[in-house]
Amino acid sequence: MVIERLELCNFRNIPESCLEPSEGINILLGENAQGKTNLMEAVWLCTGSRSFRGSRESQMVRFGAEFFRVDLSFRDRERTQNIRYSAGQHRRKVLLNGVPVRPAQLAGVFPAVVFDPTQMNIVREGPAERRQFLDAAICQLQPAYARYLAQYNKVLSQRNAILQDPDRCRQFAGTFDVWDEQLSRLGTILTIYRADYIRKLRPVAAEIYGGFTGYAESFAVDYESTVFSAEEQLETYDDRLIDLYRREMEQNRETDRKMRCTTKGVHRDDIAFQINELPVKSFGSRGQQRSCAVALKLGEARLLRGISGEAPVILLDDVMSELDQGRQDYILNQIRGFQVLITCCDASNTLRMESGSIFTVRAGSICRE
């Protein structure tokens, strides 16, 4: 997957500009608030996902303008395609090769992986951030996963609605078998998807992290289920695993009634990260935590390429800060087989780059060095 041309009109602080990146490493160099991250955000919109900044489309329209427009021409293994995404005061309009589509229909058409400073929350914050990372990564590979997840969340919401009201809890006490049966079947298959993804991600992320450190530090990632033991083989969807899940739900009902929520299940699972066999969240430095998050995102890109056969575009926003020279060198020179866009404020960080292109971004204007 290669971006051939990106054209922007009235997107945030960019009145009108064009970017034609090279196939390898591309550095977007400039001071803060010049438009570097805006370029990344525009590319990310074309994946069909919401802004990684959490912004609404109305916030992306340049001040004084009525709409924004993003035109992305990209080449996959078979052909060159085009996505046009416009929104603002008028109705949103998305075109894929000239044909109107919904943003969700862009999923898988233009795959990309993004790292921005908020991705540090995967390591630093609570389990919800890690589950979100895992769910988003699997959805790009397995469209069925998104359907199972939506069904699970719907059933979970209904079960929790009963638990939150003591009167309803007594009235509908006999229905818990029905909810638990559905949650067990859906939760088991979601757990298998997640455990399988982590098994595949573990060696890839460990190799990348080893490259960061010259293999002076070890990195490990494990899936932690609130239902299944660590020794359980979560590989085949069968009645035995479903029964284990169901029994765990049944045994925990009294606790659920007291807590007024479903306290165990795939929605409470977590991922554990370790460097040199110590928890990264508790013992890792900020540089190690950043390295961990970057290794996960680069590992996600490698898995996506290995399974789908299509290399996603890698977007790395403000990735260089808090990394030593060895880790910066890896990012600049060791990511091969992908088109990469990297934002950077310090020109000295680019001096070790062996090949690629540098673009200066200033006040929304882009200029190739």
In terms of domains, do 214 and 260 share one? yes
Quote the pLDDT of residue 240.
94
Quote the pLDDT of residue 167.
77
CATH number at residue 69: 3.40.50.300
Distance, CA of 92 to chain centre: 24
What's the longest Cα–Cα distance across the chain? 70
288 inside domain: no
pLDDT digits (tens, 9 = 90+) for 317-331: 988 877 888 888 889
128 inside domain: yes
Domain that holds residue 37: 2-111+311-368
> Which residues does the chain have with pLDDT short of 70?
169
In terms of domains, do 245 and 316 share one? no
Residues across the chain: 369
d(CA 172, CA 263): 18
* Closest listed residue to residue 96, CA positions, set 71, 77, 60: 71
In terms of domains, do 96 and 167 share one? no
Last residue of a domain, one of 244, 267, 282: 282
Quote the pLDDT of residue 107.
81
Quote the pLDDT of residue 142.
85
Quote the pLDDT of residue 301.
95
d(CA 218, CA 202): 11
In terms of domains, do 140 and 270 share one? yes
In terms of domains, do 260 and 155 share one? yes
CATH number at residue 161: 1.20.1050.90
In terms of domains, do 184 and 259 share one? yes
pTM of the model: 0.88
306 inside domain: no
Other CB atoms within 10 A of residue 224 CB:
14
Last residue of a domain, one of 264, 282, 300: 282
Quote the pLDDT of residue 325.
85
Distance, CA of 80 to chain centre: 25
355 inside domain: yes
289 inside domain: no
Helix axes 239-251 and 176-213, enclosed angle (nearest 10): 110
In terms of domains, do 206 and 261 share one? yes
In terms of domains, do 104 and 144 share one? no
In terms of domains, do 168 and 269 share one? yes
305 inside domain: no
Question: Token digits for 126?
Answer: 């609570």
In terms of domains, do 78 and 134 share one? no
* Closest listed residue to residue 346, CA positions, set 314, 322, 313, 315: 322
Domain count, the chain: 2
Which parts of the chain are beta strand (E)? Answer: 2-11, 14-19, 25-29, 67-75, 80-88, 93-96, 99-100, 112-115, 219-224, 270-275, 278-279, 313-316, 340-344, 357-362, 365-368
Helix axes 176-213 and 143-163, enclosed angle (nearest 10): 130
143 inside domain: yes
291 inside domain: no
pLDDT digits (tens, 9 = 90+) for 223-241: 999 999 988 889 889 999 9
In terms of domains, do 30 and 74 share one? yes
In terms of domains, do 262 and 131 share one? yes
**Tokens 């340049």, located at residue:** 62
